[in-house]
Amino acid sequence: MLQDQTPVGHNDGSLLRAYAAVVGLLCKVGMAIASALILFDLLLIGGAVLLRYAFSSPVIGGDELVAFTLTAIVMLAAPDVLRRNGHIGVDVLVGMLSARAARWAAVWSSVSVLLVAALLIFNGWKAVALSRMIGSLTEGHLELPVWTLQLFLPLGGVLLGLVALEMIWRSFAGSAAPSEPVGDAL
């Protein structure tokens, strides 16, 4: 179920293959958790609607839980989507470039992702520390500690950074980026 189907390029060294296998496994685990959270949210929202309109009994804290899980879903799923080239890109422009220019465009793109990942790690960790220090809680019935939600920012940043490093490595090694059909993620 969590098998990495990353294609092995002819220029991939054993170290790149090992790194890609570890990053692929981490991304698959993140995507599996994000998928489970989406199903949880679906059931929670569906149940809340049914209870509210059929039985006039709302679910207490349901909206808070859904809002809480949305950050986790994005931060855990984005690295795997990026790794499989599932994000929207400017393919028309890159397709008009020479092979060398396209490679440098890919490096530039990956470096940009690496910088965003660094911001997520650094600022996310600062936000976690501040929220923990002041004891910030979510508003509503549950009053969950905000720092537990914010932990997904540096975690997602680490995963994005690992994927960006793999993409940079593949660009310099001359091998293709891993790709698989979006429907076959798990």
Tell me: the pLDDT tens digits for 29-81?
A: 999 999 999 999 999 999 999 999 999 888 888 888 998 899 999 999 999 99
Is 157 inside any structural domain?
yes
Residue 24 contacts residue 6 (beta carbons within 8 Å): yes
Amino acid 12: pLDDT:
75
Is 7 inside any structural domain?
no
Is 105 inside any structural domain?
yes
Q: How many domains does the chain have?
A: 1
Is 89 inside any structural domain?
yes
pTM of the model: 0.81
Is 9 inside any structural domain?
no
What range defines the domain where residue 164 resides?
A: 14-184
Amino acid 11: pLDDT:
66
Calculate mean pLDDT across residues 110-135. 96
Is 38 inside any structural domain?
yes
Is 6 inside any structural domain?
no
Is the predicted pLDDT of residue 123 greater than 80, yes or no? yes
Is 3 inside any structural domain?
no
Calculate mean pLDDT across residues 150-162. 96
| Percentage, residues of the chain above pLDDT 90 | 59
